[in-house]
Structure 1
Amino acid sequence: MRELFRRYKLLLLAVVLLMATVLLYSYNLRHKSTTTFFERAVLTFAEPFQSGIDQAVDAVRNVWKNYLWLIDARQRNIALLQENRELKAKLLQVEEISQQNQRLRALLAFVDDLDRPALPAQVIGEDASNWARTIVIDKGTKAGLSNGLPVVAAEGVVGRIIKISQNSARVLLITDASSAVAALIQRTRTRGVARGQGQDLSVEYALRTADIEVGDLLVTSGMGGIFPKGLPLGKVADIEKGQFGLFQQVKVETMVDFSHLEEVLVIVGKDQ
């Protein structure tokens, strides 16, 4: 192929120059109002080549336009995807704020029913090991809190403060094995002591002859000086009465879902 090109390169060059001259001449003739016979012959001869060149130019132009359109479409898609991600993030934020507002409204309603001064706090830590059931809240002595104050949620009793620092406090949950709360069955006023069992509660010292049924509500009795009277603790889930002994075994499911606890109230005042 190279040898053939070397042998006929002068001829090929002459043909290319001739075609270029003819095409240029044909292009100039197209803009003249009148032409001679020779000029018409040149136009007729050059027409197929001119048409091919026009088609080639149009094809290149279309490819370039399509390429630019694809580049622009890709940039628009990237911008739309980014905008979509931002809108989804904002929607999630709005949903989170909406859920938080619902929880806070429930807490405020609980405060109104409680008729006690209370301080809201956020749960910022959790210890749910086999040895301890505690949470950490973001309020401490700087906010006026102290050891022993009761902590509640909109659903019921959470626990009491056992350790405190300037900006945080550790709360012992009522489900901890070392936690004990004076309680009573709301329906029959049967007294007992609610003790933590890790996940749930048990009622100790409930007489075997006492009227207790599954579904009964267990509330604080107000005795002991920590929790106000009438705060929900849980509902009776199971009862066992042995043939011997003075007391029956009562299992209680807590009202508060400690695995999803985010906001709490610390009761800081006495009865008004």
Structure 2
Amino acid sequence: MLELLRKYRSPLLVVFLIIFALLVYSSRLRKQPETTLFEKTILQLASPLQRGFDFSTARLGDIWSHYLWLVDAREENDRLLHENRRLRTRLDQVREFQLENRRLRTLLKLRRQLPLPTLAARVVAEDATSLFQTVIIDRGLDDGLREGLAVVAPEGVVGRIIRCSPRQSRVLLITDASSAIAVLVQRSRARAVGRGRGATLTLDFALAQEDIVTGDRIITSGNGGIFPKGLTIGTVSLAEVNTLDLFQTVVVKPAVNFSRLEEVLVLLDQSS
């Protein structure tokens, strides 16, 4: 189309000027009270052009008005989209505050039930290596923490602090292979040692004659001097007895979902 306009630019310009001249001339003739035959002929020739011009002008006016309306509508739509995003962000923030407040209330309830003074902390990082199962909390030596202190969550035992810096501490999870905790089967009072096995724990030294079944709740026994008695470890997910073995095989699913751990309590010394 553009190539065609460039090719016939001069003839089209001449035609346009002729049409424009006829329109101007016919407009002047309409204002005169009397016209000659030649002038009437000009008026007849120019009338279709005048009607087309008037239609085109009106049409252009409609198109322009519609364009302005579209511009206003687009601006209003952009404004509404921006407001919608702002409100969604605000709603997400309010929901997050509500969820955090609920978790903190649960943590406060646990704090009142524990026999030792505690310090609340946030989980700020997880161990990026496969050597140890640990998390980092945002409290350290400056807050009175030290290695060996127990860490718990509302669901149960998390682990113990194995390293402290002034403002952070590393917590060894109970599911780590180097973790061992003296435990009790809450129902039958059978004793054993809970040892980490990655995603679960096993009960070492659980005698074959002990009454342990699937679904039993495992708690801390209080022996060892780190964890107070009665804290939840998890639930027995497998209990098998081989008559030829001295000990039975017991697998425990931890009560705490470590992948969703956000806030914890550190159990302090009685003198803290």
Q: Quick check: 1:130–1:198 contact (8 Å CA) kept in 2?
A: no
Q: Which residue is equivalent to 2:118?
A: 118
Q: Deviations over 1:195-244 (max 9, x none)?
A: 11111111112221111111111000111111111000011111121222
1:253 is aligned with what amino acid?
Answer: K
> Partners in 1 of 2:143 and 2:29 — Cα distance?
95
Matched residue SS, 1:88 = helix
SS of 2:198's partner is: coil
Q: TM-score, normalised by structure 2?
A: 0.84
How many matched pairs? 259
Secondary structure of the 1:17 match is helix
RMSD: 2.9
Q: For 1:141-220, what aligned pairs fall within 5 Å after superposition?
A: 141-220=141-220
Q: Secondary structure of the equivalent of 1:87?
A: helix
The letter of the residue matching 1:270 is Q
SS across alignment from 2:69: helix
SS of aligned partner of 1:108: helix
In structure 1, the partner of 2:4 is none
SS of equivalent to 2:62:
helix
Tell me the secondary structure at the aligned position of residue 198 of structure 1.
Answer: coil
Measured after TM superposition, the shift of residue 96 of structure 1 is 2.1
> Counterpart of 1:32?
none
Q: Contact conserved, 1:139 with 1:169, CA < 8 A, in 2?
A: yes
Moved more, 53-62 or 71-80: 71-80
Residues 270 and 229 of structure 1, relative CA distance in 2, 3 Å threshold: farther
Q: Residue 101 of structure 1 corresponds to which residue in structure 2?
A: 101
Matched ranges for 1:1-272 at <5 A: 16-24=20-28, 26=30, 29=31, 36=33, 48-127=48-127, 129-270=129-270
Cα separation, 2, equivalents of 1:267 and 1:79 = 52
Identity of aligned residues (%): 45
Secondary structure of 2:121's match? strand
Structure 1 stretches of 4+ with a deviation exceeding 4 A read 11-16, 35-39, 44-50
Letter in 2 for 1:23: S
Contact (CA 8 Å) 2:202, 2:249: kept in 1 or not?
yes
Structure 2: 5+ residue stretches without partners? 1-6
Q: TM-score, normalised by structure 1?
A: 0.84
- Any idea what SS the aligned residue of 2:264 has? strand
* Compared CA separation, residues 71 and 246, structure 1 to 2 (3 A): same
User: For structure 1, which runs of at least 5 residues remain unmatched after alignment?
Assistant: 30-34
> In 2, distance between residues paired with 1:15 and 1:222?
106
- Mean CA deviation greater in 60-69 or 123-132: 123-132
Instruction: Verify the 8 A CA contact 1:124 1:138 in the aligned structure 2.
Output: yes
Moved more, 12-21 or 164-173: 12-21
